[in-house]
A and B are shown apart, each in its own frame.
Chain A
């Protein structure tokens, strides 16, 4: 019974994902499965207010603002001592636990628009952004949960929160037109324009959100707002296509320090496209997530620093991290959302190169830190609990912090357990660099070790691995961290040529047998199948 369930589930998932089939088959095959889940949504044709209160108010607030208004002065908000706004726990319970904060609609300030800087958006802008959501924030995409009609109703309702929609009219829309080809020279020009317009002041020289003015930026409400990291395009609020980036550059993000550069290019229509092409080229479309981190075998010495030539030959695997919201004290707004790792090994050592973005280098307590976790003992059917192990299956933690710039080797039986320090001097070496908003940490560990010091890492073995990271600058330490669940690291066996030989052998063997069969059957054929052959011939 359960297997049938798995089958249906998988079938449904794969049908929904294959683009070729997604047009026809889901309608035929998955309607019965989805019947129950979509029906209530499709049938209830709620007016905007009801939809808003049911689906949006928990973040945006029943009255269109997640913040507490000052009772004495309704146009002002109450603030925490640090200057950030107090959220309204009753009207918008989720608001205090997400960052960036949900939008306050009472000011009519919207980020993703085709209207000139400072102006209210078109209805179509709002419908679009609600349908696709705002990546990198908690604002979800609503196109599967709401019909277009319902989204239009909600938009009409959102507009009632601000008088601006009554008193103002948006002027001419931005015409995006056709992107320029992202040639080498276009990208080069883009980089020049990037320097000329000083985007690096906020976004950093390499676009990692670490510019000199990045730390102090606030939005119009007074909440801190970090600049976008151009290496994680999938987090762009307004989308990562080059047209989206062009739009951001030309219209800016209202309510934030991200300005509009519509007037910065004079009559040159190509310049903004060069810039957009350059920004677009800095990021992949998606992180490269994998279940297995493969360590490549090399017979040479492993590099001693994160800049070794070997690393350029390996593709990093990206591990998404979540805030630690599983045990108290929970951390809902983590700073580091991903860690990228490459791995290689030789006969003596395993080396991991960890890279993660962090706008500031924090070497005093709480210092930037990172942790690799593997089991203390490898069992076939069990793993330690993914959060630093459990008493039955302890975990082995390799913890690095920027203050000591060293690794400690720890044995742990849980988040709250006290950690036992294991011998690390003879096992580990590490080397780290920080530049332009990125840590690069090389960790090397001896493969052979005493059982009490941790696993002996053998080839062709799947070893569970998990990661944690702390941004000291955001006061992260202990439980306040980002973490992942289990993945695997696998020491790939050295490449071999044998499969080619097997395949060639199989090919000739089969071809030879076929030849014999052909010869034999040409003899057989005449007496026993001649009649049939004759008839089929006369037909053809």
Chain B
């Protein structure tokens, strides 16, 4: 099926027009300041222009708080720079003044574009389709300190194939997340053969359970991925398992979408609650595989040198 990577309602016609007019306005001003050699105003404008075009390019749109932070910071920095030097300040003021009061071709162009920009912007604002409620979910919330794992029911109840080694879980076992470690990881040093065997079992489990969503190549593009919003996590990306502790990832796998706190929108995540379908050991082995196959290492709080 064809891929949609994220949800986006493109800018409407008037929105696009007003963006183009604004870009044109800023560019004309930029040329004007460059000719006048008013560099402080030039840089202030350049930064604004860059920020604005970045804002237009980045999809999905940035959280507005970030845009504001950027504008505020750069404006502040520019003003600080300008106001330390009295001469520069005068120059700067004059620059802006002359842009509107002096008679030169740039002003004619500015005065021509400006009303169009205002009109299109007003039109875009007033005719704007209301956007759907912004769903900014927290992707990596604070995990609970303790979790209780309920092993999957065994026996004939389910016909769908499960992992290779069935059962193994402990009944309603409660776990302290801070102290939790992958019991198979220590094998890497102690018994490399056994470790590889566990990774291989993890691979089997991955291709029996996860790749439909998280993809063959663990990049989040499985053949069912498009039907879900949010999209399945991309394990190759440095922003997912690579920056997480293994106990956190274990919690995510065991409790899935429904285990997330409200700030992470548990109601919309298709991530299954694997404690219902895999044993504890099986979940650890899948984790072994997804780290191994991507070449990432789980994040630890211990010193890196101690681990190596």
Chain A residue numbers with a CB within 8 Å of B229 are: 291, 485-487
Instruction: Write the nearest CB–CB distance from B2 to chain A, whole angstroms.
Output: 4
- Indicate if the CB atoms of A97 and B161 lie closer than 8 Å: yes
Closest to A5 in B: B239
- Indicate if the CB atoms of B103 and A13 lie closer than 8 Å: no
Task: Say yes or no: is B155 at the interface (Cβ < 8 Å to chain A).
Answer: no
- Indicate if the CB atoms of B159 and A506 lie closer than 8 Å: no
B78-86, B184-192, B247-255, B260-268 - interface stretch: B260-268
Chain B residue numbers with a CB within 8 Å of A17 are: 5, 59
Task: Say yes or no: is A385 at the interface (Cβ < 8 Å to chain B).
Answer: yes
Task: Say yes or no: is A234 at the interface (Cβ < 8 Å to chain B).
Answer: yes
Please list the 4 inter-chain residue pairs (A to B) with the smallest Cβ-Cβ separation, ordered nearest first: A322-B227, A499-B127, A322-B224, A503-B123
Task: Say yes or no: is B66 at the interface (Cβ < 8 Å to chain A).
Answer: yes
Option from B115, B119, B258, B270 in Cβ contact (under 8 Å) with A485: B270
Instruction: Write the nearest CB–CB distance from A418 to chain B, whole angstroms.
Output: 19
Main secondary structure of the interface of B (DSSP, over half): loop
Given contacts A322-B270, A507-B118, contact A385 B258 (CB under 8 A): yes
Distance, CA A503 to CA B248, complexed state (A): 52
Task: Say yes or no: is B34 at the interface (Cβ < 8 Å to chain A).
Answer: no
Q: What are 12 A-B contacts defined by CB distance under 8 Å? A: A13-B5, A55-B217, A93-B203, A235-B1, A329-B159, A486-B229, A502-B126, A506-B118, A508-B115, A514-B111, A521-B101, A532-B102
- Indicate if the CB atoms of A329 and B160 lie closer than 8 Å: yes
- Indicate if the CB atoms of A291 and B272 lie closer than 8 Å: no
Closest to A294 in B: B129
**Number of chain A residues close to chain B: CB under 8 A:** 104
Chain B residue numbers with a CB within 8 Å of A97 are: 161, 208, 212
Task: Say yes or no: is B211 at the interface (Cβ < 8 Å to chain A).
Answer: yes
Task: Say yes or no: is B133 at the interface (Cβ < 8 Å to chain A).
Answer: yes
Distance, CA A104 to CA B258, complexed state (A): 39
Task: Say yes or no: is B50 at the interface (Cβ < 8 Å to chain A).
Answer: no
Chain A residue numbers with a CB within 8 Å of B219 are: 144-145
A303-311, A363-371, A376-384, A419-427 - interface stretch: A376-384
Task: Say yes or no: is B151 at the interface (Cβ < 8 Å to chain A).
Answer: no
Task: Say yes or no: is A18 at the interface (Cβ < 8 Å to chain B).
Answer: yes
Given contacts A37-B236, A485-B270, contact A504 B262 (CB under 8 A): no
Task: Say yes or no: is B158 at the interface (Cβ < 8 Å to chain A).
Answer: yes
Instruction: Write the nearest CB–CB distance from B24 to chain A, whole angstroms.
Output: 15
Instruction: Write the nearest CB–CB distance from A284 to chain B, whole angstroms.
Output: 10
Task: Say yes or no: is A325 at the interface (Cβ < 8 Å to chain B).
Answer: yes
A1-17 vs B: 1/0 string, CB under 8 Å? 01101111111011101
Task: Say yes or no: is A259 at the interface (Cβ < 8 Å to chain B).
Answer: no
Chain A residue numbers with a CB within 8 Å of B268 are: 383, 386, 485-486
- Indicate if the CB atoms of A287 and B267 lie closer than 8 Å: no
Chain B residue numbers with a CB within 8 Å of A314 are: none
A107-115, A134-142, A214-222, A268-276 - interface stretch: A134-142
- Indicate if the CB atoms of A484 and B227 lie closer than 8 Å: yes
Closest to A232 in B: B1
Given contacts A320-B227, A328-B157, A505-B122, 10 further A-B contacts (CB under 8 A): A3-B63, A9-B237, A55-B216, A55-B217, A59-B216, A320-B4, A484-B227, A488-B132, A503-B119, A529-B98
Option from A10, A13, A323, A511 in Cβ contact (under 8 Å) with B115: A511
Distance, CA A89 to CA B208, complexed state (A): 10
Count chain A CB atoms within 10 A of each CB in B60, B101, B267 and give the residue with the most: B267
State which residues 180-238 of B face A: CB under 8 Å: 203-204, 207-208, 211-213, 215-217, 219, 221-224, 226-229, 236-238
Chain A residue numbers with a CB within 8 Å of B212 are: 97, 138, 322-323, 325, 332
Count chain B CB atoms within 10 A of each CB in A485, A486, A518 and give the residue with the most: A485
Distance, CA A384 to CA B4, complexed state (A): 24
Given contacts A94-B211, A510-B115, A514-B111, contact A3 B1 (CB under 8 A): no
- Indicate if the CB atoms of B217 and A291 lie closer than 8 Å: no
Chain A residue numbers with a CB within 8 Å of B138 are: 2
Task: Say yes or no: is A125 at the interface (Cβ < 8 Å to chain B).
Answer: no
Distance, CA A17 to CA B100, complexed state (A): 39
State which residues 1-18 of B face A: CB under 8 Å: 1-2, 4-7, 9
Closest to B128 in A: A499
- Indicate if the CB atoms of A6 and B62 lie closer than 8 Å: yes
